[in-house]
Structure 1
């Protein structure tokens, strides 16, 4: 499924968790893992100190890379590495493009202060712009990190972006013989208290049911075991709750969704889920819809 996996590392707990999960995937797929450490020397707090800090950052990067190399060797995973200077988000994206990788893995938080490299905002920057799927992993006691995957969750609104995530979810579920959960959340807060609220809510619920039925049928045709559900509430909160309650191993999500009345999965919703997801999240981007 994957041949080359780029993992952004910085020695932080979230980055370590992402690297370990990437090794699981690489060992299963026979993929090569490329560890990338970005020395962020572009911030004023670093560049004003001079070359000594730059050298120190690169030296720290070499230490982090060496630890990653040993982990990969212990798992028998092919390994490559790189230490680059630059702005983390753009540097990760450029490396992913230039190295022709087919998956990027990264933690959603990193160190603070001068040692900060992988912030949540950096992960979100990469998620919004990457041409390949991005796997994000949080390091938290509540996060379920299991491999192979037994259950995959795809939130859907029937949009092209959600359909792209469904394709990915179906492929992953089929590979792992996992159960695919297809969920649509109707955002009751978006309806408001207008006199037309009941009509709009009925319309939203009908579309949600159509979306999960279509997605379930597509997954069923692919030979995947499918569970579908439609619920109401706050979209990111309900997605998180469903994932936790059903012990989901992986969420497959699109980075954007439809606008207006059809809006269910916005990029901002995906990013909110990333910050608190109880399992790794695999995001996939498709061209913006008109």
Structure 2
């Protein structure tokens, strides 16, 4: 499914902590791994060393990339690396497009200093603009991540963005023999239990069930093991609860989405979950018209 995986790294402890997971993803798909370090040209990184002008960031980047590539090859993965100058988010996206990567894997955070590349804002910039899916890993969680995933969750609101995520999650579950969970959350916000009871017996609820049923039927055209669920509440909270309740390994989300009968945009929910999900998040972007 994935033949060429791009891993941007700044060599920080955060990036290093997800490296084994990156290797697992590459090994599962027998993919080539490209390791990228971006020397941030938004910073003054030029230092005078022994009378010669040396870009300290590029020197550090070469060491970071060489170490990651060596470790990947020791793990039996076909890997190569590169250091380039530029704006981190834009350079990562351009690199993925130019070299035909079909997946970007990156952590949610980085640290400041000479190794600064992968700040949260950089990750979000890549998620929002990359032409290919982005697998975001939060290294701050207490759980150990496993790949291939045994259980994959895709929330849906019936939008184009959600349908794109459903297609990606279905392909992934098919390639790794995972169970696919499809979830729709009816946004009830701060409504009391009486209002929720009314919603559950209204056309709104019937519409919600129809959207869920359509997504499940679409997935079942490819997969044998599909579970559909309908929940009520704050979408991002209910999605997180579902992950915990069902031991989900990976969450697949669209970066754009707008339901026409509820009160939330899936894109906004994605942004919250990229920052706080207890499991890796696979994001897919719906290109603008």
How high is the TM-score relative to the length of structure 1? 0.89
- More helix per residue: 1 or 2? 1
Q: Gapped runs of 5+ residues in structure 2?
A: none
Corresponding residue of 1:64: 64
Q: Could you give the per-residue CA deviations for residues 239-282 of structure 1, whole angstroms, max 9, x where no partner exists?
A: 11211221111111100102664454432210110111111111
Contact 2:11 2:115 in 1 (8 A): no
CA distance in 1, matches of 2:17, 2:221: 34
Q: Is the 8 A contact 1:257 1:263 kept in 2?
A: no
Greater percentage in strand = 2
Counterpart contact for 1:37–1:65, Cα < 8 Å: yes
Partners of 1:7 and 1:18 within 8 A in 2: no
| Bigger shift: residues 201-210 or 112-121 | 201-210
Post-superposition offset of 1:174: 1.4
Distance 2:170 2:234 in 1: 25
**Structure 2 counterparts to residues 20-39 of structure 1, below 5 A:** 20-39=20-39
- The 8 Å contact of residues 158 and 259 in structure 2, kept in 1 or not, is answered as no
- Structure 1 gaps of 5+ residues are none
Over 3 Å counting, the alpha-carbon distance change for 1:74 and 1:191 in structure 2 is same
Q: Is 1:240 matched up with 2:243?
A: no
CA contact (8 A) 2:104 2:134 kept: yes
What is the TM-score normalised by the length of structure 2?
0.89
Q: Distance between the aligned counterparts of 2:185 and 2:167, measured in 1?
A: 19
Matched position secondary structure for 2:38: strand
1:82 is aligned to: 82
Query: Do 1:16 and 1:107's aligned partners in 2 also have CA atoms closer than 8 Å?
Result: no
2:165 paired with 1:165? yes
SS of 2:34's equivalent in the other structure is strand
* Residue correspondence of structure 1 range 87-236 to structure 2 within 5 A: 87-189=87-189, 202-236=202-236
Call closer, same or farther: CA 1:201–1:19 in 2, change over 3 Å. farther
- Matched residue count: 285
Change (3 A) 1:158 1:144: farther
Contact 1:134 1:284 in 2 (8 A): yes
Q: What pairs up with 1:254-269 in 2 under 5 angstroms? A: 254-258=254-258, 261-269=261-269
Between stretches 50-59 and 227-236, larger displacement belongs to 50-59
